[in-house]
Structure 1
Amino acid sequence: MRQVAEVQSAGPTISCYDVREPAAEIKMPNSLEEVSGIAHYKGDTVVMVQDEKGFVYFYDLSVRAVVKKEHFYKAGDYEGVTVVGDDIYVTNSKGDIFFFDARTYNGLHGNVQQTRLTKDHNVEGLTKLNNDSLLVALKGSPKKKALVRNVYSFDLKSKKMSKEPYLVVDPEEIAEFIGERRLIKPSGVAVHPLTGDIYILAHIGKVLAVYDRDSRQLKQVQRLSRKQHRQPEGICFMPNGDMLIANEGDGKHGRVYIYDYLCD
């Protein structure tokens, strides 16, 4: 087992957030009942995808409304979205990467890049690592009995997925933090804009895990409220560090919870 960082958290706070007390709870419109991915775009605007329709929704947090939507591809199982400059990237559960320039997009089908991943990998999360690469978090594994889950990097220049995992999510390590074994399957991933740490959200397992940006070692783990987070599927950060967690509606309205960044 890999060495686990010393800082541990199974209590109510993690890395400058109080996950018991969201600063805001936003009920999503019907079009985002099945919200499956979220990312900061510009200013107070975030982009979201839902897991059935090939649309990217631009949502203005200041007015609590969808202000624009772009049809980037046909209906499919879309699971993650991220932004690099003005380019919007979306992934589906098979690991295909869809992308378009939000400034010049004409509403036709965007570009699509197939990767070496398959439906057995069951991709769930996507985020910008830096200007040259993305992180892709897997819910599944082709190895049927495998418990660990991998996070790969995708090179934006070569359009290639890394062969070796950038980060490994190991339930045994997480168990050391929370004092119990849980099946952990990532549903979202985000890089903190101020610290560079990598946050892994898990719907199955109901935890939020933080990995050090340099060592990629597990730093903190936080249990999530099952009542509040019925189906957490997406995570992102605003430039000031505020954290957003998006939940699918599961027959009700989707919801986004905002958590204030409490550190200086």
Structure 2
Amino acid sequence: MRKKYLHLTALRNLFSGLILVLLLTGCGATEKKEASSEDYDLDSPEKFNMPESLFEISGIALNKGRNDTVYAIQDEEGKLFRLAWEVSKQLNSKFSKKGDYEDVSILRNTVFILKSNGTLFSYPLSEAVFEDPEGVREQKGILPKGEYEGMYGDETSGELYIICKNCPGDDSKSSVTGYIINPTDSTKSARTFSIQVDEIKAFTGKVARGFRPSGIAKNPLTGEWYIISAVNKLMVVTDKRWKVKSALPLSGNQFIQPEGIAFDRTGSLYISNEGDDLFSGNILKFKKLSR
């Protein structure tokens, strides 16, 4: 009987040890990765307050990375706005009627504006200097039904990258889909990419309400993708293959409602914020840190 008792005791000890190992392993699996930004100090921006006409600024763009002119839209009027940095006077061209316009890109001398339902408006950049531009084109049905807020135009490939904010085919608590389209060749099928939310959770611990992107841009110096979310107050950085490298919280004191994102050719980062009851809309500029 004594030998049998010792045998059972040994089994119990082994079982307890296995449980402890599993618990420790599980804790390690859910431990958050350290999120940091080696390239930008998100606490020290240059701030450009918007005029009243851009209180609800949404998307922003720079032509070929030149920072002499900022192109912007707001999400109510069908107008493209043009501003010089720190000059509050704006000029605009009206491309359509009132609607929910979310982002703008300038691609190979053509302006592209994204409506929240996935409709695209485009016209020659040369027409943007006129109040009533000619050659405006409206493209419907090129994207699946859904809600879209982020778009980026790639000069090298001539393609637009458009990311879902809320699409029926996605479970935003699991992954978010993006579409790569050639806006000048409707015969080419759209390609897709996806952001895995579990990879974001590895840095944040959780993503309440699912990941809801509001802007996307590519860093011209690194090729990394920067994706911001006003809902989640996050900036997610991925590599060229969309693997998440970092997820940085955006302070509500600094980032009122981050909607638009762009880079200039030197690598400076620009993020636009809609205004609220206390603050005007603005664009924050973050210069690349020297190493």
Give yes or no for TM over 0.5: yes
What one-letter code is carried by the residue in structure 2 that aligns with 1:32? L
CA drift at 1:155: 0.7
DSSP 3-state at the match of 1:31: helix
Residues of 2 paired with 1:244 and 1:93: CA distance?
Answer: 21
DSSP 3-state at the match of 2:199: helix
Please identify runs of 4+ aligned residues in structure 1 that moved more than 6 A.
Answer: none
**Aligned: 1:47 with 2:74:** no
1:204-223 aligned at under 5 Å gives the runs: 204-213=231-240, 215-223=241-249
Residues of 2 paired with 1:255 and 1:175: CA distance?
Answer: 29
1:92-171 aligned at under 5 Å gives the runs: 92-104=115-127, 107-108=132-133, 110-117=136-143, 120-131=145-156, 132-143=158-169, 145-147=171-173, 148-159=175-186, 163-166=190-193, 168-171=194-197
CA drift at 1:64: 2.1
Residues of 2 paired with 1:9 and 1:96: CA distance?
Answer: 38
**Aligned: 1:187 with 2:222:** no
CA drift at 1:146: 4.5
> C-alpha deviations, 1:213-250, integer Å up to 9, x for none?
2x221112111112211210000011111101100113
DSSP 3-state at the match of 1:52: coil
**Aligned: 1:201 with 2:223:** no
Q: 1:121 to 1:16 in 2, by over 3 A?
A: same
**Aligned: 1:16 with 2:39:** yes
> C-alpha deviations, 1:77-118, integer Å up to 9, x for none?
000001113211100001111111121455246111113435
Structure with the bigger percentage of helix = 2
Q: Could you list the runs of 5+ residues in structure 1 that have no partner in the other structure?
A: 1-7
Q: 1:260 to 1:157 in 2, by over 3 A?
A: same
Q: 1:196 to 1:162 in 2, by over 3 A?
A: farther
CA drift at 1:143: 3.9
* Cα RMSD (Å): 2.1
Structure with the bigger percentage of strand = 1
DSSP 3-state at the match of 1:177: helix
Q: Corresponding residue for 1:227?
A: 253
CA contact (8 A) 1:97 1:115 kept: no
Instruction: Using the TM superposition, name which of 107-116 and 191-200 deviates more.
Output: 107-116
Q: Could you list the runs of 5+ residues in structure 2 that have no partner in the other structure?
A: 1-32
Residues of 1 paired with 2:220 and 2:206: CA distance?
Answer: 31
1:27-46 aligned at under 5 Å gives the runs: 27-41=49-63, 42-46=66-70
CA contact (8 A) 1:116 1:161 kept: no
Q: 1:78 to 1:210 in 2, by over 3 A?
A: same
Q: Corresponding residue for 1:5?
A: none
CA contact (8 A) 1:154 1:160 kept: no
CA drift at 1:164: 4.5
Residues of 2 paired with 1:100 and 1:257: CA distance?
Answer: 27
Q: Tell which structure's C-alpha radius of gyration is larger.
A: 2
Q: 1:162 to 1:65 in 2, by over 3 A?
A: farther
Q: 1:240 to 1:64 in 2, by over 3 A?
A: same
Aligned residues: 250
